[in-house]
Amino acid sequence: QVQLVESGGGLVQAGESLRLSCVASGRIFRVNAMGWYRQAPGKQRELVASISRTNNTDYTDSVKGRFTISRDFAKNTVYLQMNSLKPEDTAVYYCEAKITDLIREYRYWGQGTQVTVSS
């Protein structure tokens, strides 16, 4: 079994920063791409940022220049540094990882961490 555990969410004011972390553990041969998604009330889950095994990154337009995704391969950990937060960034943030065991690749999700940005 594989678990993804997120941390770092909270309540901040507009303009402040937060750093999310997500650690993958368990039966892991290799962690491939990792990413962060978010879901606001009444909205669909959307991709915020992703990072490949070769450190190629991609961001949704609304966070470009404010958020930075990074990873530590040795620790099977992905981070999301969120700066200049806006009220519209309020959502539950989910970590996602594509992980290979010895046979095939699986997609895993974390339990989510709440980020609330007050105006």
Residue (of 6, 8, 29) closest to 95 by Cα position: 6
Digits of tens for pLDDT over the chain (119 positions)?
Answer: 899 999 999 999 999 999 999 999 998 889 999 999 999 999 999 999 999 999 999 999 999 999 999 999 899 999 999 999 999 999 999 999 999 988 899 999 999 999 999 99
Q: For residue 75, what pLDDT is reported?
A: 94
Q: For residue 99, what pLDDT is reported?
A: 93
Pairing relation of β-strands 2-7 and 18-26? Answer: antiparallel
Spatial distance between the Cα atoms of 27 and 3, rounded to a whole number of angstroms:
9
Asked if 13 and 118 touch (Cβ cutoff 8 Å), the reply is: yes
Six-digit token string for 90: 């309020």
